[in-house]
């Protein structure tokens, strides 16, 4: 009986600590994508830099007095971009000539005969499941500063369409889809946020996260500033 009383007392003493350890946060923000660029012969290939609205749902728990772990599911809006080009097709009018100095001259022997104008449409959407560890730094009685680091597992979907603007070709084939690529990758990320107490259980959670990005269109950074509202049990 004495042992039962001790066990009940221990569970009552531990309950408040466990009750304050878990939390859930819903947030909304801006997903800022910055990717590498490619240029060739003066033509800029379509780039998917952009800023779109995104959202995230996070659950976490404290594992110690000032540190814990968190799992987040984030989904961005669709980043869209387009690039229009007008490459001429050319045919030789005569054979290349050799000058007195021995060099070959071909610049005057080409004629652009059928320029085709087309637009490439690109769309990109990213979904990330991220696991992280965090450290909490109390500032006053109602504000905590939190530093996070972890790894994000991303699913990226890229779609690419082609639209012709040359009248004759646009009538025959106005638009068609070139590719739809789904890729998966894992990238490290770091983050910083504040947890501002509004009530005993509700906190305002503004913050920012920086994650490496590796997708079908290239590599770069995904920056995610946002603000959330959390319930801390």
**Domain housing 78:** 17-85+112-232
pLDDT in tens, the chain (233 residues): 444 444 433 443 343 333 358 999 999 999 998 887 666 554 555 677 889 999 999 999 999 999 999 999 999 999 888 776 655 544 444 444 445 554 545 444 444 455 566 677 888 899 999 999 999 999 988 999 999 999 999 998 888 887 766 555 555 555 565 688 888 999 999 999 999 999 999 999 999 999 988 776 678 889 999 999 999 99
Q: Output the CA–CA distances (angstroms, integers) from residue 10 to 5, 13, 42, 150, in the order listed.
A: 9, 5, 73, 34
**pLDDT for position 190:** 97
What local confidence, expressed as pLDDT, does residue 2 receive?
47
In a domain, 97, yes or no: no
pLDDT at position 19, please? 38
pLDDT of residue 201: 94
Q: Does residue 96 belong to any structural domain of this protein?
A: no
Q: What is the pLDDT of residue 108?
A: 46
Total domain count, the chain: 1
* 3-class SS string, the chain: CHHHHHHHHHHHHHHHHHHCCEEEEEEEEEEEEEECCCEECCEECCCCCEEEEEEEEEEEEECCCCEEEEEEEEEECCEEEEEEECCCCEEECCCCEECCCCCEECHHHEEECCCCCEEEEEEEEEEEEEEEEEEEEEECCCEEEEEEEEEEEEEEEEEEEEEECCHHHHHHCCEEEEEEEEEEEEEEEEEEEEEEECCCCEEEEEEEEEEEEEECCEEEEEEEEEEEEEEEC
- Report the CATH number at residue 158: 2.40.160.20
Is 93 inside any structural domain? Answer: no
Indicate whether 1 belongs to any domain: no
Its sign, for the CA torsion 25, 79, 129, 67, is negative
């Amino acid at each position: 009986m004495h042992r039962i009383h001790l066990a009940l007392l221990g569970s009552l003493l531990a309950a408040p600590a466990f009750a304050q350890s878990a939390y859930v946060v819903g947030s909304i923000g801006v997903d800022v994508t910055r990717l590498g660029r490619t240029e060739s012969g003066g033509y800029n290939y379509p780039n998917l830099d952009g800023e779109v609205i995104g959202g995230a749902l996070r659950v976490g728990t404290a594992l110690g007095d000032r540190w814990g772990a968190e799992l987040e599911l984030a989904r961005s809006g669709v980043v869209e971009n387009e690039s229009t080009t007008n490459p001429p097709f050319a045919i030789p009018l005569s054979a290349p000539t050799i000058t007195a100095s021995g060099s070959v001259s071909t610049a005057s022997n080409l004629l652009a005969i059928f320029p085709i104008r087309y637009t490439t449409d690109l769309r990109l959407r990213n979904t990330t499941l991220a696991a992280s560890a965090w450290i909490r730094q109390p500032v006053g009685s109602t504000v905590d500063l939190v530093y996070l680091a972890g790894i994000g597992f991303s699913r990226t979907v890229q779609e690419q369409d082609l639209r012709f603007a040359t009248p004759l070709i646009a009538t025959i084939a106005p638009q068609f889809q070139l590719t739809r690529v789904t890729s998966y990758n894992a990238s490290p990320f770091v983050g910083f946020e504040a947890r501002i107490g509004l009530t005993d259980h509700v906190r305002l959670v503004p913050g920012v996260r920086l994650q490496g990005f590796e997708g079908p269109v290239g590599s770069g950074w995904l920056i995610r500033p946002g603000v959330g509202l959390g319930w801390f049990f």
